[in-house]
Amino acid sequence: AKCQCKVAPKERKNCGYPGISAVECKRIGCCFNSSVANVSWCYSPKAKKVKKVCPNDPYTRINCGHPGIKAKECTRKGCCFKAHPAGVPWCFYHRVMEE
């Protein structure tokens, strides 16, 4: 993503080899910016920011517990708990989403 390439020139970590082209740099998953002299032009992107969310659609839940699990036990396992609707897991895994 474009925002992952917004790295201050002095904080860039080299990701390519001397003379690498912009096309080759991007092909290997790196960022390229040749606007500042004497710093890496091909550099590592920032890590993706992710967050855990409990899915809204009850029919996409992936079971994280057992029948009759209590909310406290479920959340202690690091999972989501919603005691509704019937017929779907009430204790279920988070989904990871990019911010």
Higher-confidence residue: 91 or 98? Answer: 91
User: 33-66: per-residue pLDDT in tens?
Assistant: 999 999 999 999 998 888 899 999 999 999 999 9
Q: What is the structure's pLDDT at 59?
A: 92
3-class SS of residue 94: coil
Strands 50-53 and 95-98, by their bridges, are antiparallel
Residue 26 has pLDDT above 90, yes or no: yes
What domains appear along the chain, each with residue ranges and CATH number? Answer: 9-43 (4.10.110.10), 50-98 (4.10.110.10)
Distance CA 9, CA 40 (A): 8
Q: What is the structure's pLDDT at 35?
A: 93
